[in-house]
Chains A and B, each alone.
Chain A
Amino acid sequence: MKKNISDKIVEKFGDKIVVSFVKVNRVGINVDKENVHDLAKFIRDELNYDHVESVSGVDYPQDKEIEVVYHIGSYSDPSLASQLIVLATRAEREENPIPGKDATKLPTLRDIFYSVEFHEREVFEMFGVYFTGHPDNRRLLLPEDWADLPPLRKDFAIKGR
């Protein structure tokens, strides 16, 4: 079953994607930002996954990249109830970020999975990844007057530590 899911994706996308791991109930897929939108559409329409459970960011200063990870699950297909697809894609990382106005950009998946709306807003303010096409890229959790680095980047240090 799990093997089937990754096989189907490999069959369709070939060398555009990398299957990073296949575990019990988990399939990890790495994809570049040009193909993430098509892949997400394929996962929704052909594989019956219907919602994103979480969107998280991972900062890789040594690679000069920020990874955004989508955990995609399914409610409507009972055979996929405990299955998750872990879809990871990477954006360029700038040393001196200007959130929203630098090269750290990814296409949004909000038009495919509606539930990413608030999660992508959080990733935007915490990591500075701007989601192109997202209808609402305002801040969500940070204070109104925040003027520092995006706080979950590794080079942001808590004062006095």
Chain B
Amino acid sequence: MTNEFLPPGLALQKADERIMTLNVGPQHPGSGHMRIIVQIDGDYIVACDPDPGYVHRGEEKMAEYRNYITNIPHLERPVIHDSCNVLYPYVLGVEDLLGIEVPERAKYVRVICSELNRCIYTMYWLAIYGIFLGHSTMFMWPAGDRELLIDLMEKISGARVTHAHFVPGGVRNDLPPNFEEVCLRQVNYFEKRIREYAAVFYDNPILISRTQDTGVLSREDAIRLGVTGSVLRASGVIIS
């Protein structure tokens, strides 16, 4: 049998006296099960072959069997922590196909929800990143402060994490009566809190010495590989 179509890790390889092939996983290196087949020469990784299929949920196929509304709860599952933003393009696409005009207020509510959700996601990332670096304060603080934002989203949608709040044509329900007051209070709290984060984490010499010049992705490579989001920004391309 030729190696051409065999999945990663099953292809036969010639033995090499320097290069060792290792299977990392399938375990949980950050979020979601994934296997990485690495070839190492001493301490250096010379090649790596990701096998991410363990997290594939077959959303596209499931969507073929459901109607536009019943797709909403399962399409936000792939990115649970950022469920508003991952649903947003789907809802916009359905609206475009059906030619639905969205009320002005719903557009504002959507932007508020998306931004809150982005903050929730960033807090989650920050907590996990902190604990990966062995900085347990930076796990506790964002994980605790994230609850305040989750409470806000719970007030809006009734659900803590997977909101299913956006529907084609608008949002599922309006903002609660005292939302503005509570939201401003939380936002003001974060403004103060961010400075404490900076003092204990971002400006921490231990963090800087551990992360500086490690795993550098050059600007050219980032563009060539089509990297997105904060990784792209970290490589010096000012686009989100």
Contacts and interface: CB of A to CB of B under 8 A. Distances in A.
A137 B228 CA distance: 24
Interface in A133-161: 137-144, 151-152, 154, 156, 158, 161
Interface in A82-130: 99-100, 113-115
Interface stretch (B6-14, B154-162, B174-182): B6-14
A51 B224 contact: yes
Contacts of B5: 99-100, 137-139
B48 to A, nearest CB: 13
B225 interface: yes
A151 B62 CA distance: 11
Given A140-B52, A141-B53, A114 B224 contact: yes
Interface residues of B, number: 26
Contacts of B56: 141-142
A152 B53 contact: no
B179 to A, nearest CB: 31
A81 B238 CA distance: 10
A140 B225 contact: no
B224 A115 contact: yes
A138 B61 contact: no
Contact of B61 (A50, A113, A152): A152
Contacts of A142: 7, 53, 56
A114 B225 contact: yes
- Sorted nearest first, the 4 A-B pairs with minimum C-beta distance are A115-B226, A141-B53, A51-B226, A141-B56
Given A139-B53, A140-B53, A154-B64, 8 more contacts: A50-B223, A50-B224, A52-B226, A76-B223, A100-B4, A115-B224, A139-B7, A140-B51
